[in-house]
Amino acid sequence: MSEPVLEIEDVDAGFGASQILFGINLAVAQGEIAGVLGLNGAGKSVTMKVIAGLIPAWKGAVRLNGRDITGLAPEQRVGLGLGHVPQGRQVFPELTVEENLRLGAYTLRRRDKSRYAPSLAATWERFPKLYERRRQAAGTMSGGEQAALAVARALINEPTVVLVDEPSAGLAPLIVRDVFDTLKQVATTGVTMILVEQNVAAALQLVDTVTLLQTGTVAWHGPLAELDRSMLATRLGIGRMLGPSTAAAANKRAVKKKAVPEKKPAAKKAAPAKKVAAKKTVPQKAAATKKAAPRKRAT
Amino acid sequence: MGEVFVLGAIAGGIYGLFAVATVLVYRGSGVLNFAQGEVGTLGLFLAVWLINDHGMPWVVGALAAVVVTTAIGVLFERFVVRKMGDAPRVSVAVATVGLLLFVLSGELVRVGASPKSLPGPFSGNGWRIAGVVVSPTQALSLVVALGVGVALATLLRRTDFGLGVLAAAQDPSAAQLVGVPVNRVSAFVWGAGAGLSTVACLLVAPGLGAFAPGALGRLFLFGLAAAIVGGLTSLPGAFVGGLVVGLVEASSGRIFAESSLPGVKTLAVFILLLVTLLVRPHGLFGTRESRHG
Amino acid sequence: MSWLNARPGTRVIVVGVIAALLAPALGRAGIVTDYAALILGTGVALAAAGLSLNLLMGYAGQISLGQASLLGVGAFASGLLTPATKLGLPFLVAIPAAALAGAAAAFLVGLPALRLRGLYLAVVTIAFAFTMTESLLKTQSIGGGSAGINLPRPQVNDFIFTRNADYLGVLLALLAFIWWFDTNVTRTTLGRAFRAIKSDEAVAASFGVNVTAYKLGAFALSGAIAGIAGLMSGHLVQTVNSDSFPYDRSLLLVVVVVVGGLGSRVGVLAAAAFYALYPVLMPHLFGDRILGYDVVIGAALLIVTMARNPSGLAGAIRQQLAERRERAVPTVAPTGGVMAMPKLPSLPRPTALPERPTADGIVLSARDIRVRFGGLVAVDDASIDVTRGRIVGLIGPNGAGKTTLFNAISGRHKPDSGRVELLGVDVSSRSAAQRAAAGLGRTFQNIGLVRDLSVNENFLLAQHTVAGYDPVSALTYFRHAGRGETELRERAAQAIAALGFERYTDTPVANLSIGQQRIVELGAVLLTAPEVVLLDEPAAGMAPAAAENLAERLVDLRNELGRTVLLIEHNIPLVLATCDELYVMAAGRVIAHGTPDEVIQDDLVLEAYLGGAVL
C-alpha cells in the first residue's frame, strides 16, 4: 500500500493541564474521504487543531506526505499542502468573494503566481454561483453560500489534504443538506479529505473510512462497509442503550423510583418521526453507490 | 466659518494620521498602542539631534526618525506583544503604557525637560486662506495625510500581503488557516503604526514651535479620539474622525474665544468622545465585531 | 503575638497607631530630620495613591490611566474646604469630603465602564485626566488659576502640624486607616466579588454578584481612597496647581501597582518605598548620573512584568513559595487519572437564608420556552417539569438546545417567550443572581468556578448571596459582618474537609484536574443551599471509572441530601444509573419524556443522536 498522505502517530494533546487526546492514531490515503466521528468531548476538534497546528501535540507526530510537520506553524503547513474548511466557515466577511479566494491561494501565489489564474477559472467553473457574486462582500451571503465559499477557498490552493471541521455546525437543516451536496460533489473529484462531524447520518453519506473517537481515544477504525448500526452506537458511547447491558444499568438504578406519569410525548413524537423515516433510505443508497472499496488501515 | 474649517482641516489631517496608526494596530492586534504618540516624539528628538546638532538635511533626519521608530514598533511586537500570545488585550495595552512611560522617562533623562524646536522641511511664509496663514509644512501635512490614506488603501486592497492584513484583522485564526503569515502581519502593523505616528509628529512639530517630552500627548489623545469617532476599525473612518475632531476643536475654540474657561478645546473633544462612546460605541464607520471581546 | 495574626484588622490599627505616634517622637528626638520626614511622607502618600489604583485594577480588574486626576480632585476638594479658603472647616471634615469628591468623580468616570470594554475605558480615563489638568483644574474657581491653591497643614486648637515629622504621623495614621479599609474589602464578599468580576464576569453573576453595581462600587471606593491620598500629598507640599497631578503620575501609579504585584498591598508599599527613597539614596551610591532612572527602570519592569508574568513581583514570589510547598507535598493527581469522587458534604443551613416553601410536587417548571439565535430556533417551545426529590435527566444530541434551555431556566439568557416557575413562584423576569438566591443552583459545562481563585476563595465566593451582611457593613467589618464571615469560613472549611480537599485549600482551581474541578464546582453549588441543582454534563472530561463514581454521588445528592436534580449528560450509562425520569431533546424540541426504560426503548431517541442515521 502506498504511503499515507496524512498520518497522525500516537498523539497526546489537550488544553492547559487537562489532557484530551490519549494516543490518537490516524492515517489517510490518497483520494480517501476519512470521517472522524464522536460525541461532544470525544476529542474530534482537538484532533483537527493538532493536525492544523493550532495547538501543539504533547507527544507523537503529525506527518504530511511523509514529512514530519509536528513543529511547524499553521501557515507553514498550509504551504505544504494542508487545506482547511474551518468550523463555522470563517470566511472573511468584509472582503469580497474574489478577495477571499485570492487569500485562499495565498501560498499558491507565493510559490507560482501563474498557477492562480487557471485555478481561479476552475473554481468559477465548479462554483458558478460564487462567480455571480464575486464582487459581493462575503459576510452578506447566506450561510450555504458562505460554506461553498469556504470549500472553494480551501480547494483553490490545490491542497493535498483538506480538513473539513464540522460543516453542519450552526446551520439550519436545509442548509446542511446544501453543504453536504457541495462536499459530495467535491468528493467525486478525488480530493483527499478528513471530515469531522457531529451529524453522523450526514457524514456517513460521504466518507470511505470511519474513525470513531471516544473520550480521547480511537474506539474503532475501519471502512464504512464494516460499520453496522450497533457498533456505531456502542463505539460512540451511546450504545448501552441497545445492548444487553441496558438491563444491567437499569438495575443499578436506585430502587426509589416511582412510575412517571406519561406526559403527552405521543403527539410531539409523531412529527419528527416521519421526518426520520423519510430520510432513512438516503444513506443506504449513498453507501451502495460508493465505487471504490475503502481501504482498511491499521491504526 | 471658513477659518474654522481651514484650522480644523489642518489639525484634522494630523489627528487622522495618528488615528490611522491607531486603527492599523487595533485591526492587526486588537490593542490600542498608547505609546505611539511618545514614540513619535522620540523620533522628533532624534530628528532634532541629526538636523539641528549635526546639520543633516531635513529629509535625512526625518527618514532616520521614521526608520528608527518603525524598528521600535517591530521590536516591541516581536519581544512583547507576541510573547503575550492570547493574553487579555487590556494586558497588552498596559504593556504599551509601560513603553510610553519608558520612552517618556528616557527622554527626560537623556534629552531633559527643556523644550527643543524643529524647523519644517520648507521655509517660506505660506499662504493666507480664509484669514488663516497656512504654512508650507501644514499644507504638506494635508498632502501627506491624503497620500498615506491612498497608499495604505492601495497596499491593503491590491497586494496579497495587504489582503492578509485585512484578513488577519477580521479573523486571525482563519487567516492563519489560509496560509497568511500572521506574525509578519502583526509586526507590520506595529511597525507601520509607530512609523506613521512619527510622520504625524514631524509634520506637526514646526507649527508647535517648541516641544518637550510628553508635549505631544494631547495631540495623540485627540488622534485616539478621532480613531474612536471614526469607528476604530475603519481606515477612511480614521480620517473622517480626524476631521471631525479637528473641526470640533477649532469651532469650540472660536465659540468660546471670549470664555474664561481654560482648555475648552480639550473639554469639547472629551465630550465628543464620551457622546460617541455612549451613543454610538462603534463610531461612524466601525463594524460591530466580537473578536476582541 | 498570635492574636495579631488572627485579626488582621486589629493588627493594622495597632501598627498604625504606633507608627503615627512614633514619627513625631522620632522627629523631636532629631532622629528623623525634617527632610527625611518629607521624603517618607511622599512615600506614604504615594503608597496610599497606589492602594487606590490597586483596588480598582488589582482587585476589580478595571483599568484606569488617569488615577492621578482623582488625587487632584481630593486635594482640591480639601483645599477649598480647609481654613485658608472660603469655608474654613477643620481637617477632620476635609478627609471625608475629599473621599466623597474622589468617589463621585471616579463614579462618573466609571459609568461608561458599564457599557465599554477595557480599552475604551482606558481612553476615557486618559481623556478625563487631560480634561482635568488642562481645563477644570486651571479654572479660577476650582483650581485657583495658575497660582494654584494653598493647603495648610492641619490644626488642632492651637497646635499646627508644621513640622514634617508631626505631619508624617498624620499621614501614617491615614495610611493605616486606608490599609484597614482595604483589608476589610479583601476579606469580605466585596473583595471576592471584585476578584470574581476581574476573572470572569459570567461566573461572578452565576454566584449572585450584581456585576454592574460592584463595578461602579469599585470605582467609587477607589476614588474615595484616591481622594484621601490626594489630600495627604496636597497638605504635605502645601500648595497645588493644575500641574501637580500630571498624566505621567497616573502612569507611574500603574507601574507601582503592576510591578509591585496586582492586588498586593505589600507590593504597592514596596514599590512606593522604592520611588520615595531612590532619589535620596541612589545618588549617594552611584552619583547624580543615576537620577531619573527610577521611572525608566519601573517602566521597563512594567513591560517585562506584562510580557512574562502578569502577576508582578508579589505574584512571582507567591508562585515560588507555592512551588516549594508543592514539592514538599505530593503533586496534584495526574490529569486523566481516576480520582474517586468523595462524599458530598451535608452542610448546615446558612443562617441568613430566608425560609423557602417546602411542599412536595413540582419545584421547577419551564413552560413553552422559546429561544432564537438569529434565524436559528435553538429551543422550540420546550416544556419540562421537575418534581421534588427526583433526578431528572435531559438528554439529546449536540445542538439539541439542552444547554440553551438551562440558560433560559437559570436566567443567564432571556428566552423570547415562555415562563419559568421556581418553588411555585414565577421567576421569569428575575435575574440569574436572584434565581440563584431563590434556590436554583447550577454547574457549567466549562466549569463555573473562578479559575484564578483558590478552592477556599471559590467556596467563599459561592456563598455571596447567603453571607448575611451588606457591603457597607463589610467595609467597616462591624460585628455582624465579622460573624457572617466566620460562618462562611466555617461552612467552606466543612465543605473542603468533607470533600477531602484540605491539601488544595489554597490551590488555584485552574491547577486542579478537570475531575477535581467538577467536584469543587459541585461543592460550591451546594454551599449556596440550593433546592434544585442544574448539572450541565458533570461527567464531561471524566474518566469512565470516575463517572461511575459520580453516579453514586448524584444518588446521594437525592437520597441523603434531599436535593432535586436536573441533569444534562451524554454519558448514557450514568443517566440510566441515576435518573428517575428523562426528557429527550432534539432540534430544540422535547421529543420524548418518560421513565428511562420507556425512553431508551424509543427508536426515535437513537435516531436523534445519530442525526437520522440508519445503516
Q: What is C366-377 written as a DSSP string? A: EEEEEEEETTEE
Cell numbers standing for residue A122: 476552475
Say how far apart CA C553 and CA C90 lie, in whole Å.
64
Which pLDDT score is estimated for C92?
85
Which pLDDT score is estimated for C432?
83
Residue C452 sits in the same domain as residue C398: no
* pLDDT of A50 strictly over 90: yes
Q: Provide the domain count of chain A.
A: 1
**A294: in domain:** no
Estimate the crossing angle of helix C514-527 against helix C544-559, to 10 degrees. Answer: 10
CA separation, residue C228 to residues A147, B167, C53 (Å): 59, 49, 13
Q: What is the pLDDT of residues A206-229, one digit of tens each?
A: 899 999 888 788 988 999 888 877
Test mutation, C64, C65, C123, chain B, max B CBs within 10 A? C123
Say how far apart CA B48 and CA B42 lie, in whole Å.
10
**C346: in domain:** no
Specify the CATH number for the domain of residue C139. 1.10.3470
**A143: in domain:** yes
Task: Identify which of C112, C118, C306 has the shortest CB distance to residue B274.
Answer: C112
Between A and B, how many CB-CB pairs are < 8 A?
A: 64
Which pLDDT score is estimated for A26?
94
Q: Phi-psi category of B12—alpha, beta or left, where left has phi over 0 and alpha has psi -120 to 50?
A: alpha
B211 close to B205: Cβ distance less than 8 angstroms: yes
Q: For residue B258, give how far its alpha carbon lies from the nearest alpha carbon of chain C (Å).
A: 14
Which is more confident, A269 or A5?
A5
**What is the average pLDDT across C482-492?**
87
Residue C432 sits in the same domain as residue C455: no
A110/B177 touch (CB, cutoff 8 Å), yes or no? no
Which pLDDT score is estimated for A237?
59
* b (16+ CB within 10 A) / e for C333-344: eebbebbebeeb
C131/B267 touch (CB, cutoff 8 Å), yes or no? yes
A93 close to B170: Cβ distance less than 8 angstroms: yes
Say how far apart CA C78 and CA C153 lie, in whole Å.
11
**C287: in domain:** no
**A297: in domain:** no
Cell numbers standing for residue C376: 436559528
Residue C238 sits in the same domain as residue C153: yes
The continuous run of DSSP H or E covering C382 comes out as strand C376-387
At A212 the three-state DSSP class reads: strand
In terms of CA atoms, which chain B residue is nearest residue C109?
A: B274
List Cβ neighbours of C468 (8 Å cut-off, separation of 6 or more).
C350, C351, C352, C480, C483, C484, C487
Q: What is the pLDDT of residues A54-99, one digit of tens each?
A: 999 999 999 999 999 998 999 999 999 999 999 888 899 989 999 9
* pLDDT of C390 strictly over 90: yes
Q: What is the pLDDT of residues B158-173, one digit of tens each?
A: 999 999 999 988 888 8
B181 close to B119: Cβ distance less than 8 angstroms: no
Which pLDDT score is estimated for A258?
37
* pLDDT of C402 strictly over 80: yes
**C331: in domain:** no
| Residue whose grid cell is 486635594 | C75
Residue C128 sits in the same domain as residue C271: yes
Which is more confident, C366 or C117?
C366
Q: Provide the domain count of chain C.
A: 3
**C389: in domain:** yes
Which pLDDT score is estimated for C144?
74
* pLDDT of C419 strictly over 60: yes
Residue A267: pLDDT band with limits 50, 70, 90: very low
C590 close to A268: Cβ distance less than 8 angstroms: yes
Give every strand in the sheet of C362-373, ordered side by side. Answer: C376-387, C362-373, C417-422, C425-426
pLDDT > 70: percent of chain C = 90
C319 close to C311: Cβ distance less than 8 angstroms: yes
Boundary (domain end) residue, out of C219, C253, C279? C279
- In this structure, the strands spanning B116-117 and A217-223 are unpaired
Residue C367 sits in the same domain as residue C462: no
C595/A169 touch (CB, cutoff 8 Å), yes or no? no
Which pLDDT score is estimated for A60?
93
Cross-strand partners of C149: C240
Cross-strand partners of A33: A193
**A249: in domain:** yes
**A299: in domain:** no
Residue C84: pLDDT band with limits 50, 70, 90: low
**C313: in domain:** no
Residue C138: pLDDT band with limits 50, 70, 90: confident
Which pLDDT score is estimated for C75?
93
| Residue whose grid cell is 472499496 | A293
**A296: in domain:** no
Taking CA A185 as the corner, what is the angle to CA A183 and CA A189, rounded to the nearest 5 degrees?
Answer: 105
Residue C121 sits in the same domain as residue C206: yes
pLDDT > 90: percent of chain B = 59
Number of neighbouring beta carbons within 10 Å of residue C146: 11
**C518: in domain:** yes
* pLDDT of A282 strictly over 70: no
* pLDDT of B137 strictly over 50: yes
User: Residue C245 has what DSSP assignment?
Assistant: S
User: Which range scores top for mean pLDDT: A81-95, C323-337, C339-353?
Assistant: A81-95
**C213: in domain:** yes
Which is more confident, C5 or C428?
C428
* pLDDT of C339 strictly over 80: no
Which pLDDT score is estimated for C312?
65
CA-based nearest residue to C267, from C65, C510, C57, C102: C57
**A295: in domain:** no
Which pLDDT score is estimated for A286?
39
Q: What is the pLDDT of residues B30-58, one digit of tens each?
A: 899 999 999 999 999 999 999 999 999 99
Which pLDDT score is estimated for C611?
58
* pLDDT of C364 strictly over 50: yes
Number of neighbouring beta carbons within 10 Å of residue B188: 23
C53 close to C67: Cβ distance less than 8 angstroms: yes
Which pLDDT score is estimated for B287?
66
Residue C564 sits in the same domain as residue C607: yes
Residue C538 sits in the same domain as residue C517: no
**Which residue segments constitute the domains of chain B, with CATH numbers given?**
2-279 (1.10.3470)
Domain range enclosing C160: 2-279
Mean pLDDT of chain A: 78
**A166: in domain:** yes
Cross-strand partners of C386: C364
* pLDDT of A118 strictly over 90: yes
Estimate the crossing angle of helix B36-48 against helix B182-208, to 10 degrees. Answer: 60
Estimate the crossing angle of helix B182-208 against helix B136-158, to 10 degrees. Answer: 170
* pLDDT of C291 strictly over 60: yes
At A298 the three-state DSSP class reads: coil
Cell numbers standing for residue A103: 487569500
* pLDDT of A290 strictly over 70: no
Specify the CATH number for the domain of residue A129. 3.40.50.300
Q: For residue A99, give how far its alpha carbon lies from the nearest alpha carbon of chain B (Å).
A: 7
- In this structure, the strands spanning A59-64 and A67-68 are antiparallel
**What is the average pLDDT across B105-127?**
87
Which pLDDT score is estimated for A296?
39
| Residue whose grid cell is 441543582 | C533
A75/B171 touch (CB, cutoff 8 Å), yes or no? no
Residue C368 sits in the same domain as residue C502: no
A19/C559 touch (CB, cutoff 8 Å), yes or no? no
Residue C404 sits in the same domain as residue C538: yes
Which residues of A have a CB under 8 Å from any CB of B? 52, 54, 73-75, 78-79, 84, 86, 90-95, 99, 102-104, 106-107, 109-110, 153, 157
* pLDDT of A142 strictly over 90: no
* pLDDT of A248 strictly over 60: no
**C290: in domain:** no
Residue C461: pLDDT band with limits 50, 70, 90: very high
Boundary (domain end) residue, out of C510, C529, C548? C529
Task: Identify which of C120, C136, C299 has the shortest CB distance to residue B98.
Answer: C299
Domain range enclosing A118: 6-289
Residue C546 sits in the same domain as residue C581: yes
Residue C545 sits in the same domain as residue C481: no
Which is more confident, B151 or C587?
B151
Specify the CATH number for the domain of residue C560. 3.40.50.300
Q: Is the dihedral of CA B167, B168, B170, B173 positive or negative?
A: positive
Boundary (domain end) residue, out of C225, C253, C279? C279
Amino acid letter, B104: L
CA-based nearest residue to A20, from A213, A285, A257: A213
Which is more confident, B123 or C111?
C111
Q: What is the pLDDT of residues B239-288, one digit of tens each?
A: 999 999 999 999 988 888 777 778 888 999 999 998 998 888 788 887 65
Q: For residue C347, give how far its alpha carbon lies from the nearest alpha carbon of chain A (Å).
A: 23
